Amino acid sequence: MKRNDLTGRTFDLLYVEKYIGGNKYLCQCECGNTCEVFAGNLRSGHTKSCGCLKHTNIIDRRFGKLTVLSEKTKTIAGVKRTFLVCKCECGSVIEVRKDSVISGQTTSCGCVNKDRDIPQKMLETFVDGSQPIKIGAMTASNKSGIVGVNWDKSRQKWQASIRYKGKKYNLGRYDRLEDATKVRAKAEEIVKAHIENGITGEPVFPK
């Protein structure tokens, strides 16, 4: 029976780098660690990370500027997600996805970004701490020419991402530039909806 190769695919926090035999794959976790995972565990969702999501006694632990107050589970678009209620060093209390905190992707409520030396003229264009995004905006600063779409040389994929309130959200890696661009454009629509409608919760982007 021909093996259904999972190389290059992403499952939760795990990016599948290569097949190593014995029905196992070498995976790169978003937290930076690598691990070996059975193909069946990737497909079923049994293994979602290198193990970083299984931290116990997380209450009162500090991650960057965030201290964990409590933990809760929410069902979003039919998928159960674990969120942490955290207090930031600046005094703000926010809800953040657990994997985002554990992996180091989110280290504050967004106040770190506000502390940057941003020109006043640019600050005047910000809404709720974020600069409104131009759909399909072009840039000469990366290979794609599209804001938020970059070439991942190590994995030979197009990487899509977006920033909102000082946090970076990874939107996945794609073989085709047009696929990464479409995902980025959809994420921009979601962020614009949050800004225009005054939505305070963390945006949820489709994978």
Q: Which of 204, 205, 206, 207 has its CA nearest to residue 95?
A: 204
The pLDDT assigned to 39 comes to 93
The pLDDT assigned to 37 comes to 94
Q: Indicate left, alpha or beta for 176 from its phi (over 0: left) and psi (-120 to 50: alpha).
A: beta
Could you tell me which residues come within 8 angstroms of residue 133 by beta carbon, excluding any fewer than 6 positions away?
147, 162, 188, 191, 192
> Rounded to two decimals, what is the model's pTM?
0.38
Residue 131: count of CB within 10 angstroms of its CB: 14
Residue 202 tokens read as: 């963390």
Phi, psi dihedral angles at 52 (to 5 degrees):
-65, -20
Paired residues of 66 in beta bridges? 63, 88
The pLDDT assigned to 17 comes to 92
The pLDDT assigned to 87 comes to 92
Task: Check residue 105 and report its DSSP letter.
Answer: S
The pLDDT assigned to 42 comes to 92
- Using CA atoms, how far apart are residues 205 and 187, in angstroms rounded to an integer? 6
Spell out, as residue ranges, where the chain has pLDDT lower than 70: 1-3, 30-32, 53-56, 76-80, 103, 112-144, 166, 206-207
Q: Which of 4, 8, 5, 6 has its CA nearest to residue 156?
A: 8
The pLDDT assigned to 6 comes to 92
DSSP conformation letters of 111-124 = HHHHTS---HHHHT
- Using CA atoms, how far apart are residues 159 and 4, in angstroms rounded to an integer? 23
The pLDDT assigned to 170 comes to 87
Q: In order of start, what are the domains of the chain with their CATH numbers?
A: 10-53 (no CATH), 55-116 (2.40.10), 118-196 (3.30.730)
Element (H, E) at 72: strand 66-76
